[in-house]
Homo-oligomer: A and B are copies of this chain.
Amino acid sequence: MTTRTTTPRQDGFRMPGEFEPHAGCWMLWPCRSDNWRLGGKPAQQAFVEVAKAIAAFEPVTIGVSRSQYQNARYRVPDHIRVVELSSNDAWMRDVGPTFVTNDKDEIRGVDWQFNAWGGLKGGIYFPWDQDDLVAQKVIEIEKTDRYKAPFVLEGGAIHVDGQGTLITTEECLLNANRNPHLFKAQIEQYLKDYLNVEMIIWLGRGVYHDETDGHVDNLCCFIRPGSVALTWTDDTNDPQYKISVDAYERLQSATDARGRRLKVHKVHQPGPLYMSETESQGVDQIEGTLPRRSGDRLAASYVNFYIANGGVVMPFFDDPQDEVARSRLQALFPDRTVVGVPSREIVLGGGNIHCITQQMPKV
């Protein structure tokens, strides 16, 4: 594995949009009992269902730690690849590589610094040493070259249109617990250098009570260049209301890298949903890990979906909005099959389908 000392921008590599063709999808295996209830068994079942749904469209590989290898290999169907790969938790979107491609059919992986969503100043658990090695290990299994980015970033904190535009949030990227030594202009320059974008659209806050400090991938994403989906509520008393209105206004007034106005599609949220007493009691309470408390508002959003080759795999919450949202997304993705997968067990752990997946583009 060659680690390049240049940047993707210098070498003519860009991050494709998620809606561009994939070679496959990477995931990790949930097992830490201080985040996933009942020893992770319900979450494992949910992850398997997500993997199966995606594998109907493209190849899926799941990385699993040594101690869980045989259990994972038993629970995961044969047509989904399982490889040994240690991690501290199971958020492949945030700890995995961001793949970039050029117009000569070459692919490389960007390995960001990772500090568990805030390090010692509000991070979710300690340590995160194995998470920080995941990108490198995936890149080496995939036999691509690597860029080592010199700043903290999670894959869930960004979305791109593949045509020069990036969307992110101030709450996350300008948070003092990520890159306190960098000014906004420096962060913008790094994003431009490592993802080869021209235009950065800054939203404000992410979804209410999202423990990632407002990852954009739970709030808003590109459906295609020029078109975005935004999680929404009409309930003016919901703290999410102001967040979505602010994002809507910023998106409406933005232009993308090619000078287009964005078309913004509202997708109404479920619930609101809350963690139950039973659910909370199934989680180990460990000093240093974000506690899972009864009554906690869940950061549930339908926007946290994964776009696969010919498909969209979206969260379902056993909520009346599920089918409404699915119809909405199906209309927005007329050429793909939109599939809902029950994912309450995933959102209980702090994220959703987009957070636990990472695409590898096809070249």
Interface residues of A, Cβ cutoff 8 Å to B: 1-3, 65-66, 69-70, 73, 78-79, 81-86, 130, 133, 136-137, 140-141, 143
Contact assessment for B137 and A78 in the assembled complex, using a CB-CB cutoff below 8 Å = no
Q: With the chains together, A69 CA to B86 CA distance in Å? A: 10
Q: Separation in Å of the A72 CB from the closest CB of chain B?
A: 11
Q: Separation in Å of the A90 CB from the closest CB of chain B?
A: 16
Q: Is the interface of A mostly helix, strand, loop or mixed?
A: mixed
Contact assessment for A81 and B133 in the assembled complex, using a CB-CB cutoff below 8 Å = no
Q: Known contacts being A84-B86, A140-B82, is A70 close to B133, with CB within 8 Å? A: yes
Q: Known contacts being A81-B1, A85-B84, A86-B84, is A69 close to B133, with CB within 8 Å? A: yes
Q: With the chains together, A86 CA to B84 CA distance in Å? A: 8
Q: A1-B81, A66-B66, A83-B141 are in contact. List 6 more A-B contacts (CB 8 A).
A: A66-B86, A66-B130, A81-B143, A83-B137, A83-B140, A141-B141
Q: Separation in Å of the A4 CB from the closest CB of chain B?
A: 11
Nearest B residue to A136 via CB reads B73
Nearest B residue to A82 via CB reads B140
Q: What chain B residues lie within 8 Å of A65 (beta carbons)?
A: 66
Q: Separation in Å of the A163 CB from the closest CB of chain B?
A: 33
Nearest B residue to A134 via CB reads B84
Q: What chain B residues lie within 8 Å of A82 (beta carbons)?
A: 1, 140
Please give the count of copies of this chain that the complex contains: 2
Q: With the chains together, A83 CA to B1 CA distance in Å? A: 11
Q: With the chains together, A2 CA to B143 CA distance in Å? A: 23
Nearest B residue to A76 via CB reads B1
Q: What chain B residues lie within 8 Å of A73 (beta carbons)?
A: 136
The residue in A1, A2, A65, A81 that gathers the most chain B C-beta atoms within 10 A of its C-beta is A1
Q: Separation in Å of the A330 CB from the closest CB of chain B?
A: 33
Q: Known contacts being A130-B66, A141-B141, is A84 close to B84, with CB within 8 Å? A: yes
Q: What chain B residues lie within 8 Å of A133 (beta carbons)?
A: 69-70
Q: With the chains together, A83 CA to B86 CA distance in Å? A: 11
Residue from B78, B81, B84, B137 within 8 A of A3 (CB atoms): B78
Q: What chain B residues lie within 8 Å of A81 (beta carbons)?
A: 1, 140, 143
